Amino acid sequence: MRSDLAKRGAQRAPHRSLFYATGLTPEELDRPLIGVVNSHNDLVPGHVHLDKVGQAVGAGVRIAGGTPLEFNVIGVCDGIAMGHEGMRHSLPSRELVADSVEVMTCAHRLDGLVLIPNCDKIVPGMLMAAARLNIPAIFVSGGPMMAGRYRGQDVDVNTVFEAVGGFQSAGMSEEDREELELAACPGCGSCAGLFTANTMNCLTEALGMGLPGNGTIPAVTAARLRLAKKAGMQIMHLVREDVLPRDIMTEAAFDNAIAVDMAIGGSTNTVLHLPAIAHEAGIPLPLQRFNAVSGRTPYLVKLSPSGPHHMQDLDEAGGVSAVMRELLNCDLLDGHPLTVTGKTVAENLSRACRLSDMIRPADKPHRPDGGIAILWGNLAPEGAVVKAAAVLPEMMHHQGPARVFDDEESALETILRKDIQPGDVIVIRYEGPRGGPGMPEMLMPTSALAGMGLDHDVALLTDGRFSGATRGAAICHISPEAAVGGPIILVQNGDQIELDIPNRRLTLLIPEEELSRRQEHLEPPPARVAEGYLARYAAMVSSASEGAILK
């Protein structure tokens, strides 16, 4: 066992003494030592209940003959961090999660890991760590929040974000808004729609690193705790058989994850996270792969913010397994990759089936291609990303004048004072991985546009990123970013910009000679942050087109 280096032999007597000081018995120390990596805290609604999930995991580990040793990692709530300086720390926290898991695991020579994430950057951060460490590992998330109920309608946190725009445009009273605030998030779990957290928990299952049900079983159910116990038991099988994450997270597994992402219309943030996880596994995952898989994968499930359904509805309809079975039946998924169950994808799906028409059959999809598209053009030579599934049909092709802002705050202020005109193309720059720094999510501007009814005729472009809750013609991850001299830095107010999602094009309609002239007179603003972790992050982070990994 890997832990033998820290506990066997006469030279390790001091080490055993320290282990005993934690309350372990010699019998417990003699068993495989399993790290239970828990992101429990009292700040994040998706994580407040993870202490109980951790206890269930520990029980499973003991049932199967191991010794669970729990430690914690940080976790940022993107919703609470949204719209202020705190959001600049969200994406960078992914690297801290991965690094802290690596440090604790290597320092203490653990034999295996059960990882318990739930929210946006914690899931990919832990997956990155698992791929990097390559010791037996299994995931069990905390599960999604139930949808709230407001005056007979299902609602979620995105409903509240959009209510800000509705309140601003006098469509909602203060009393109505306060009532909605209290109803939208009824309890623990990752926010109820198919936002980034739930997308990544579903893709963990599709990658083969989580047990069936990981992505959709609601947080508040006993079934979630039973799943946690099963994960604790299953890690012992993986340890005994020495099944490693890189045996599971193969190139074919990543293609499967992208296919599921496209079929369910997942968050644009997956185009940052999957390449970063693949990088840790030694697998190249260029943006072209997303368009290739999207082109052959039908869009089968409309979940909030793209449709009326929530995660509990997908669970009742058969969950991720039902979506995967529909794809497998049409040869759109590879059934051969190994999973943490010890079985292949195809074996796991042998009894899966659609239990509701909210999962469309593959021959009657919402659209024939996937929910995410990668755009290219002179404004995005290295690519840009849009959640095509959440774009209204009339905005799939749009041309209009640019309204340029050098930060999110000034753009949001202009939107809320109703100074954006129908047809405008809002451009927010210097919000990329380096320029932000930290590539903050910008849900508030897109939600304000939607709440004010402007998502029908206004597009928003940025080198930053959007929440998985964003809907509308919102194009993000424009690369290269402004902070490194990308073409978005050259856009001026009034320039015509053309968005053509069906043909995967994003074009600044300005002659090359004029762009060259503007390039000569550039004066980029100084860096926003000069010290601390964000300054180090900005100095090391790569382009969004590479997953914003650290180099």
Q: Tell me: the pLDDT tens digits for 198-232?
A: 999 999 999 999 999 999 999 999 999 999 999 99
What pLDDT shows up at residue 186? 97
CA distance 523 to 516: 14
Q: What number of helices (H) and strands (E) belong to the chain?
A: 22, 14
Q: DSSP alpha helices (H): ranges in 330-463?
A: 345-348, 408-416, 443-451
DSSP string, 436-473: TTS--B-HHHHHHHHHTTGGGT-EEEESSB--TT--SS
CA distance 218 to 305: 18
Q: Indicate the helix (H) or strand (E) that contains 96.
A: helix 90-108
C-alpha closest to that of 452 among 478, 480, 426, 433: 426
- Out of 467, 479, 543, 545, pick the active-site residue: 467
What pLDDT shows up at residue 115? 98
- The distance between the two most distant Cα atoms of the chain, rounded to a whole number of Å, is 76
Burial state string for 482-515 with b = 16 or more CB within 10 A and e = fewer than 16: bbeebbbbbbeeebebbbebeebbbbbebeeeee
What pLDDT shows up at residue 447? 86
Tokens found for residue 196: 């980034």
Helix axes 532-540, 90-108, angle to 10 degrees: 90
User: What is the layout of strands, in order, in the sheet containing 67-72?
Assistant: 67-72, 33-38, 112-116, 137-139
What pLDDT shows up at residue 170? 57
Q: Is 545 labeled as catalytic in the residue annotation?
A: no
Please check whether residue 320 is in contact with residue 348, taking contact to mean a CB–CB distance below 8 angstroms.
Answer: no
Which residue carries 């943030």 as its tokens?
269
Q: How distant, in Å, are the alpha carbons of 49, 165, 538 from that of 484?
A: 41, 33, 11
Residue 541 DSSP code = B
What pLDDT shows up at residue 163? 85
- Give residue 46's identity as a one-letter amino acid code: G
C-alpha closest to that of 247 among 355, 325, 165, 138: 138
Cβ neighbourhood burial of 540 (10 Å; 0-12, 13-18, 19+): middle
Which residue carries 């180099």 as its tokens?
551
Low-confidence ranges of the chain (pLDDT < 70): 165-171
What residues pair up with 550 in beta bridges, in sequence order?
541
